[in-house]
Structure 1
Amino acid sequence: MVNVMGTYFTAQLAAQHMIDHGTGGSILLISSQTAHGTTPQEHTSMYGASKTAVKALAVHLGVELAPHKIRVNSLSPGYIETEMGRAALEANPKMRDVFEKAPPLGRRGKVDDLTGATIWLLSDAGSWTTGSDVLITGGLHGGGMHLKV
């Protein structure tokens, strides 16, 4: 529920600040590739459902907040190498192998792989984009989901 409620209330606070100051702006929510389908991991149904809700929030908030010149979009990254993720992969070498082999581009994502889409969606370059979701998965959303941990 934190993925959904925490994201919703944080977006509402940001939107209220923008409305109060008459600035408009852009809000970027973080969903996941699991919002688009299953992953090689087992037992991810609740995580996937919560990230699907985050993706839906971007669509609905994007429409609701548009009259205030506030855009809302989401990113759905694949396996991004983070400190938390590294610890999980070290604990399960089989999972590490899957995460490295499953994406068609042949590697796990890096935080820097999200930079371009983030800049686009938060800047004026994305000024006519709201309620959208951008998948950044190394191609995993198009294939490779058959590998299992």
Structure 2
Amino acid sequence: MSHGAPRQHFADKRALLDALAERGSEQLGRELLAARVAEGGPFREQLLAFARAWVGFATRRPALLDLMFAAKSRDDALQSVADRPFAATSAMIARAQEAGEGVPFAIFATLQGLASLVTSGMSGARAHAQLVDKTITTLVDGLRPR
């Protein structure tokens, strides 16, 4: 492909980046859907499956994830596309919150922070799967009503 080829398909650089962000959101959505466990399963297992898929995507595609979040804040249409991968997960978290299991923003913030630490190399040589497992255990135990 020549350097000028994208100009034949996209009006400008932003349109190209927005299209990449949209494709990234769709890919993440497929991975999150594939990782889902039964809706009736324990919250910890459901959240763990989501976290593994999220951090796995983030470690394989860190620049794409950054682009997805940057694009999401620019455009309402992209916001809708970016929200789709999280629909089932948001419903799972809402059910858990109704049952006193968790706080949605704390969960998303923790997972995004974990993904950022892993992709930036700040997690060191520790195995990503082990970090995800320990983080989810700590999060779920910490959010449980006393």
Same fold (TM over 0.5): no
Flag the structure with higher strand content: 1
TM-score, L = length of structure 2: 0.29
Flag the structure with higher helix content: 2
